[in-house]
């Protein structure tokens, strides 16, 4: 059964200040001069429903004042928006809000993917939400988090992308307590052939067995989102040659790849190496800076006492 959305404007609070705090460059910035609201009497007049210029201006007002978008950018990236009726934009917004997204979430989605402003909710949005609720088994209360973490879900084809990725991830072991959740839906928009398989092949190429590789990515799913060239290779190189550690430690602590090489791994290794000390990877990286330094001092004092 298809759901139908009313095209009356969804109630959206005015939120320019909220969006101004976003670091996302696609949200309207302060240099963009907002339009001034039309007089209520003019909007209510019969002419406003027939004059194309007034209808277009009303649409711009909705994009800027209600959604907080940069209308110029939206029109540039989605030329269809220029001729689309305002009711079309209302329908897209209402569809997102009906599945639990907040106005700020809808604005971020539209800012990243302006094409959704003129989409057909029944054909473009509903299949994705039905997929998330059905095959992906994302609970309704978590839909908002799933989309907020990965808005790209809404512009991904269910039969061509989402279902094949989900089936592959299920075969890999993402089932039961390891199932896909709102925290790992980013994996669903990853290409099996171009993204997921090459990363698994790289890990196996290091010497890990199929089952060891599988266990590593199930324990640290973020590994499947990391770049081979910019993450795996430099961190493996530093781990083996500078730290002089054994690959078996990565098997036990695959979360190593989720820590910054320059900001955490190298500085902490350097402090340990200067004192000729060593910590298990998890103890070295998981703790806060303060706790790490406290443990380092304790180890140094213990080393001194042993020499006395």
What pLDDT is recorded for position 223? 96
Do the beta carbons of residue 257 and residue 235 sit within 8 Å? yes
The residue that leads in pLDDT, 8 or 252, is: 252
The residue that leads in pLDDT, 294 or 8, is: 294
Asked if pLDDT for residue 29 goes beyond 60, the answer is no
What pLDDT is recorded for position 308? 56
Task: Please give, one letter per residue, the 3-state secondary structure of 224-278.
Answer: HHCCHHHHHHHHHHHHHHHCCCCHHHHHHCHHHHHCCHHHHHHHHHHHHHHCCCC
What pLDDT is recorded for position 303? 77
Q: Write the pLDDT tens digit of every residue in 214-251.
A: 999 999 999 999 999 999 999 999 999 999 999 999 99
Alpha carbon 157 to chain centroid distance? Answer: 17
Q: Write the pLDDT tens digit of every residue in 35-84.
A: 444 444 444 455 545 578 888 999 999 999 999 999 999 999 999 999 99
What pLDDT is recorded for position 307? 63
The residue that leads in pLDDT, 285 or 308, is: 285
- Rounded to an integer, the average pLDDT of 162-173 is 98
**Tokens of residue 154, six digits:** 């809404």
In angstroms, the CA 50 to CA 70 distance is: 25
Q: What is the band of 302 on the pLDDT scale with cuts at 50, 70, 90?
A: confident
Q: What is the band of 34 on the pLDDT scale with cuts at 50, 70, 90?
A: very low
Asked if pLDDT for residue 33 goes beyond 70, the answer is no
What pLDDT is recorded for position 86? 94
- Rounded to an integer, the average pLDDT of 258-274 is 96
What pLDDT is recorded for position 258? 96
For the chain, the structural domain boundaries read 1-119, 260-308
What is the average pLDDT score of the chain?
86
Tell me the backbone φ, ψ of residue 305, rounded to 5 degrees: -65, -35
Residues 6+ positions from 187 with CB-CB distance below 8 Å? 165, 169, 174, 180, 196, 221, 224, 225
- With a pLDDT cut of 70, the percent of the chain lying above it is 82
Asked if pLDDT for residue 2 goes beyond 50, the answer is no
SS3 at position 119: coil
Alpha carbon 266 to chain centroid distance? Answer: 27
What pLDDT is recorded for position 51? 76
């Amino acid at each position: 059964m298809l759901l139908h959305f009313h095209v009356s404007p969804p109630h959206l609070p005015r939120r320019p200040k909220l969006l101004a705090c976003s670091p996302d460059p696609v949200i309207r910035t302060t240099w963009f001069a907002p339009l001034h609201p039309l007089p209520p009497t003019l909007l209510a007049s019969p002419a406003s429903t027939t004059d194309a210029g007034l209808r277009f201006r009303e649409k711009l007002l909705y994009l800027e004042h209600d959604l907080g978008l940069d209308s110029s950018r939206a029109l540039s990236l989605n030329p269809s928006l220029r001729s689309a009726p305002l009711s079309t934009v209302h329908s897209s917004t209402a569809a997102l809000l009906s599945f639990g997204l907040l106005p700020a979430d809808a604005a971020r989605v539209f800012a990243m993917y302006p094409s959704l402003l003129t989409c057909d909710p029944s054909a473009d949005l509903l299949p994705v939400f039905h997929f998330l609720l059905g095959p992906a088994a994302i609970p309704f209360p978590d839909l908002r988090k799933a989309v907020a973490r990965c808005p790209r879900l809404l512009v991904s084809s269910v039969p061509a992308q989402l279902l094949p990725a989900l089936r592959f991830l299920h075969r890999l072991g993402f089932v039961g307590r390891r199932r896909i959740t709102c925290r790992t839906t980013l994996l669903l928009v990853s290409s099996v052939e171009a993204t997921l398989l090459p990363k698994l092949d790289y890990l196996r190429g290091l010497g890990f067995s199929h089952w060891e590789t599988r266990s590593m990515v199930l324990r640290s799913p973020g590994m499947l989102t990391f770049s081979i060239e910019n993450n795996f290779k430099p961190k493996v190189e530093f781990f083996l040659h500078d730290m002089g550690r054994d690959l078996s430690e990565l098997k036990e602590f695959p979360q190593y790849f989720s820590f910054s090489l320059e900001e955490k791994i190298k500085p902490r290794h350097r402090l340990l190496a200067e004192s000729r000390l060593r910590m298990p990877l998890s103890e070295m990286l998981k703790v806060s800076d303060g706790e790490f330094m406290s443990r380092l001092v304790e180890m140094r004092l213990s080393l001194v006492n042993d020499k006395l």
